[in-house]
Amino acid sequence: MIDQNNNKRENELNQALEAIHFGFKALIARPDERLAEITYSRVHHRILYFIARNPECSINELLGVMGVSKQYLNRPLRQLTEDGYVRVRADQADKRVKRVSLSKKGLKLENELSGDQRERFEKVFKQAGADAEAGWRTVMALLVASGRG
């Protein structure tokens, strides 16, 4: 005999998986279209986003913040630098350390891409209400934490 409670719970969890899948798809649709226009991908957006929030960080600090390898970061960061979106400079105290920041062009693109996403969050959080937003934040924080351990 099939346990009805387990089957019901599995269906609820599947609905949560589908919600995160389709929610993420909606959140990235417009930025992905814009990135495709300039032959960039989502990783380029992530790099721009995290540099914007951590200006003048070292490349190693950026790797840590993003939780990625040098191999993952190398090519897209080089493209962003060559195309004038990111500036890389040697640290004044230790010339071996490279620091990254966004150019005006990079700030504009990052704001265009992330701005659309912030507007979406603002709209849905307003519709859902403060309690729902707080619950969502709690769930996401726990989900992130569960991936670390």
Query: Looking at residue 87, which CATH number applies to its domain?
Result: 1.10.10.10
Predicted local confidence at residue 6, as pLDDT? 79
| Percent residues over pLDDT 70 in the chain | 97
Mean model confidence pLDDT for the chain: 94
pLDDT per residue as tens digits for the range 12-57:
999 999 999 999 999 999 999 999 999 999 999 999 999 999 999 9
What is the domain count for the chain?
A: 1
Chain centroid, CA 129 distance in Å: 24
Domain residues for 64? 4-148
Indicate the pTM of the whole model: 0.90
Cβ contact 100:77 at 8 Å = yes
Range 71-92 average pLDDT: 96
